[in-house]
Structure formats: structure tokens, C-alpha cells
Amino acid sequence: MSYEVIKTSNIGFCFGVNRAVNAIYDILRKDNGGKKIYTFGQIVHNGIITDELERRGVINTENIDDIEPGSIVFIRAHGVPASVYDALSAKNVQIIDETCPKVKKIHNIVSNAENVIVAGNINHPEVTGILGNAKNKKFIVKDIDELKKIMHNINGECSEIVFLAQTTFNARKFEEMAEYLRRFRNVRVVNTICSSTYDRQREVAELAENVDAFVIVGGKNSSNTQKLCEIAALYCPAFHIERPEELPDLSKYKKIGLSAGASTHGRTIEEVYRIMVSENSENNISVGEEEIDFEKAIDASMKIIRNGERVKGIISAVNGSEVQVDLGAKHSGFIPVDEFSSDEKAPEIGDEIEAFVVRVNDVEGTAQLSKTKIDSIKGYEKIVAAKDSGEVLTCRVIEAVKGGVVVLVNKVRVFVPASLASLRRDTDLNTLVNKDFPIRIIEVEENGRRRRIIGSIRSVLKEEQAAAQKEIWDNIEVGKKYKGVVKSIVKFGAFVDIGGVDGLVHITDLTWGRIKSPEEIVNVGDVIEVEVKSVDPEKHKISLVYKRSEDNPWEILRTKYKVDDIIDATVLKIMPYGAFVSVIDNIDGLIHISQLSNHRVENVSDVLKVGDVVKAQIIEINYDEKRVSLSIRTLLPEEEPAIVEVTGDDLTGTSENNQEPVDDANDFAEDTTGKETEEI
């Protein structure tokens, strides 16, 4: 029975494995002066490569005592504990560290973390290396059940926990664990699964659902290969083989999937594939162009880098002048560090990056790359797609020019005519510079290398304004609060935009105090919180209040003072009938002329002047009429009535001060009884 072979697109060496294998073969091609070459553990989990290296004299060991001083030691792609680096350094050997940059990134994370939980296989060398670089508490879990037990035991003891995974861990299991950990505020989840691993697992899962059997090629001790086989087995029979001769009889299946682990050499995959194709050829099954595409993909080490290409790679080093990129090829790439803007994430070792090949130097084996160029290309592609779909993008105005403004959209320059730059046609275009706006691309024209791209800010703003106005009128009600922007100021108040609709704050509703101009309180452009005072939907009028009820001075007065309280009052104004004094901020009180003294006062200014601070007693607070009355008189001692001493001579008809004669003693006695007290 014939069958069809369907392969995944991600197949063969990943960049980390390719990097390590290429590095050791480069050393083997050189004259090393008779130095012994060691690998600390298998350089990669691939028995075929390990056997070949052994035949060429490379010694595989994990016993530091076996390593001779002065030799060359390769650190495996899976990495090693920090203690191994220290021990090797003490042996005075040449260390060539081929730890995968993504694994290196994990080492950096765990070395700075307070507590670490790693999802992975405790016996895997990558996990050994990760745990060996962690400085504090560290835990290893293989599934969510173990994770729950760990969290139950340590959560109360740990202030911060970092959760991450072995780079080849099962992506679905990791996502399940990450979802569980979202309930814990002290846990930071870092997805360290290699993107290549994730893509392989996803492709295998998708393909396995549509085939009758699956062949996975890779080392039997390769973790990522084992996981691919586990995933495929969920959907169909899966066969894990390491060498071509291990291929089983597949004749009973109609469709067979083919994939390989990240440590599987292209030559092995090619041989397996050709055997499967050969079997089908005998049954008159043609693979056509599929074979050509496959051969281009199977051996990354043969990849050729050309000027003008778009390439993907992994950041392997960052220094002051450039970012080095591992392209999984014979050429190593570099990007000038100034192409990374300060407003984006700083490049880190292990990050995947896409770039444009500017210049290839075959002599030095380097390729100058450009991130700016690729950003521009990708930005233009998004703009073209947005023009066709009508998608709204975000732009920043960078320059006002004749007839409009120039904006940046996805790092691509776009022209916006003045009539389409804002809602108001009389807008000063210079005021738009360095501001962000939504934009719709309305025209894209290419003429050779020249591009003409036109956008409209106004069309999006009009739609947003209409939607905002509808939202306001559908939901506005008295007492509702809004944050608004002061749009204009007039004599009688300020107009405030509360989201596409303007409302008026009357001057009397701006503050509890007395002001001459609204500009004493607000300025155009201020963002303020206002409350709806009244609404007239028919006339589309809204009255707003800016002054806050909690700042109402009469409520403050109610809590601060009561009748009979004595205060220090500052004289503010002199009137014929009394003096106005400050009670608290924004509340004045009156001391009536009759309350200034125990004796009759003819002129208020004879007793007080503006600026005087006097003790006064509150004698009345009328909250309805907003009036406070005070008195100085009530705080003064009462004057005793005058005492007149009478002698015998006085009884004859003359007063002591020789003013007027007294008719007789009876008349004097009557005057002092109180009948005519006021006249006396």
C-alpha cells in the first residue's frame, strides 16, 4: 500500500545546536598544537554526532578531574552549573562556551531571582545547569500537580517567585501551569520555552491530527524530540527513530507525518526522507517539488546569506557599539546598537530578531544587518494592509510642512494634508507636532522606488467625536461627574469638553469664593473634574459645576464654629453701619456698629481700621441667608454706673461739680431711682 509523506516546516538543527556543532568542527579544522579537545557532556543530544566527534578524537566527559590542564573544553549547548565554570577556570583550560543564548538568558534570570520554580526534567543537563546558576531557593516540577504541591508549601514563605521552563518543555503544559499561577501576586511567570521548540510542537500537533502515522527523527535522549513524539502520539501512532535503519514498516498507512528534533542533523533527516520517498517511488508515488523545498530546509549550516535578504536570528552578544546575531549560518550578523531606539525594549541575549542584510563580507564571515530597514519594510507592509482593510493605526506628528503635516506610522513617513489633519480647519499645525493621533491610510502609490502615502486624521477624529457625543447624550444625568478639558474661557464662565460635548461652568460655579475672571481658577487646556448641574437635551445645553461640595465654606463653618465661639477676625472693610471681618476663607461676617463698644460709637473708623485683627464673638449664624453676625461688645466688661457722693452742702441746692442747682433732695433721689437712667 502506498503512502504520502508530509513534513513540518520547522525541521533539523535549531540555531543553538547548529551554533555549537559548527563551532566544534571549526576547531577541529584548525591546528590546535596538539591540545586535547573535550566536551563537557554531549555537545548536543545526538548519538550520531557524538560518535563522529569521538572518532575524530574529541573526548566526552563530565568528570573535571579527567580534563588535562591547558586543553580545550567545549561547554555543551545545554549549559552547565556555575560551579563547573569555576572548576574549569581553576584547571587553566581554554573554555569555549557554546551554551545556547536562550539558555544563557535563563541563567541570568535565575541568578538574580529570590526563589525559582523550573518546569522541566530534573535529570536533563539543561535543568541541571539552570538550577546550578540559581543562588537561592529552587524547585523543579514536571506537571501542574507537582506545581500545586510546591505552591501550597512555599507560597507563604516566599515574597517573590520566578516561574520559568526548560527551553524544550511541553508548551501546553507550561501554559496550563502559567494560568494556575496567575492567582498568585508574588509569582512572576517568564516564558522561556524556545520559539523554535514551540513552533515545532505546534506544527506536529496540527499535522498529527491529519495523518495516519508520524515519524519523529532524533536522539533517544533528546528531550525536545521525546516531547514531539509524545504530542504526535496523542493523535496517531508515532515512531521515534534515531537512525534511518530504524524506520518501521509504514506500508499500511496512507498519510505519514515527518518531523525531527532540534538536535537532529540534516544529513540524517535527508536520509530518512529519501528512504521514505524511495519506498513510495517503487509504488509510483511522486513527491514532485516537495523534495526540492525539503532539501533547502534540512541543513541550516549550508544556508547562504545574501545582500537584500530578510533574515531571522538570535541575539548572541550585546556590547557598546553593536548587537551580534547568530543567523544559524556560516556568517555571523551584527547590528549597530544605535538602531535600537530608547523607547523600545533593550536587546537581550537569547531574543529572536528579524533584520535586513545590508552587506555580506565573505572574507571576515560577517553580515552587516539593519533593524531600521526591516522595521521600515514591515511598517510599510502593515500600512498597505491597513489601507485595504480600513484599519485605524496610530501616528506621531513629526513635522509641520507647507500644506499639511508629516507623521510617522510604524516608522514610515506619511503625509497628511492640512484639511485632514484635525477637526478644525483653522488649527495651527505647529501645535500638533510631537503628538500622537489615530490615522486612516487613504492612499498608497508606488512609482519605482518612490512611495506616496497619504493619511487622514480628521476622518477618525470625526468618527470618535460622533461616537463620544452619542455616548454622552445617552448616559448623561444630573449629578454625574466627568473629567473634561477647558476649551475656551468667556467673561461669564468656562466651556469644558467632557468627551466630545461642551458644557458651561458659570463663573459662580467655578469656586465658592468671589472672583472677577474665570482665569483666576482655570486656563484653557486644564483637565478638571466637573459635575452635571442641569441638562437640556432639546437645546443641547449642559451646565456644569467645578466647585466641590466638600469645599463649601458654609459646611466647613458648620463643623468648625458655632454661636458664642470667639475668633480672631481680620477687618476687611469699613462701612457706616459696621465692619466686615473674615470668619473663615470665603465667608465674611458683620460686626454692627452697635456691637463695637459698651458706649455709643459715632464712626466705625474711630474704633477700627482695615487690617486690624480683633477678638470677636459669633452671636448669630444664618445658613439660609448666608449671614454671620459678630460682636466685640459682648467680650468687654460691663461699665458700672457713676456713683455721686452727697454732702450736707449739696442738699442746699448745689451739685458737687457745680453744674446745675438741685431743687431739693427728693428730686435727686427720684433721678437716681432708675426712671430716667438713659437721660442721666
* 262 and 197 Cβ atoms separated by less than 8 Å: yes
Question: How far, in Å, CA of 176 to CA of 628, rounded?
Answer: 70
The string of DSSP letters for 124-144 reads SHHHHHHHTT--SEEEEESSH
Question: How far, in Å, CA of 533 to CA of 509, rounded?
Answer: 9
**Which residues, other chains included, contact 319 with Cβ-Cβ below 8 Å and sequence gap of 6+?**
337
3-state secondary structure of 86: helix
Q: How far is CA 14 from the centre of its chain?
A: 32
3-state secondary structure 370-428: EHHHHHHHHHHHHHHHHHHHCCEEEEEEEEEECCEEEEEECCEEEEEEHHHCCCCCCCC
Is there a catalytic annotation at residue 339? no
Q: CB 597: neighbour CB atoms within 10 A?
A: 14
Q: What single-letter amino acid sits at 305?
A: I
Strands 94-97 and 493-497: unpaired
The three cell numbers of residue 14 are 535549531
Q: Is 167 left (phi over 0), alpha (psi -120 to 50) or beta?
A: alpha
- Strand order of the β-sheet with 238-241 is 4-7, 255-260, 213-217, 238-241
Question: How far, in Å, CA of 15 to CA of 595, rounded?
Answer: 96
Question: How far, in Å, CA of 512 to CA of 548, rounded?
Answer: 9
The three cell numbers of residue 501 are 460635548
Least Cα distance to 493 among 527, 536, 524 occurs for: 524
The three cell numbers of residue 401 are 510642512
Question: How far, in Å, CA of 47 to CA of 228, rounded?
Answer: 18
**Which residues, other chains included, contact 441 with Cβ-Cβ below 8 Å and sequence gap of 6+?**
383, 386, 387, 393, 409, 414, 453, 454, 455
Out of 126, 157, 175, 354, pick the active-site residue.
126
Annotated catalytic sites, by residue?
Answer: 126
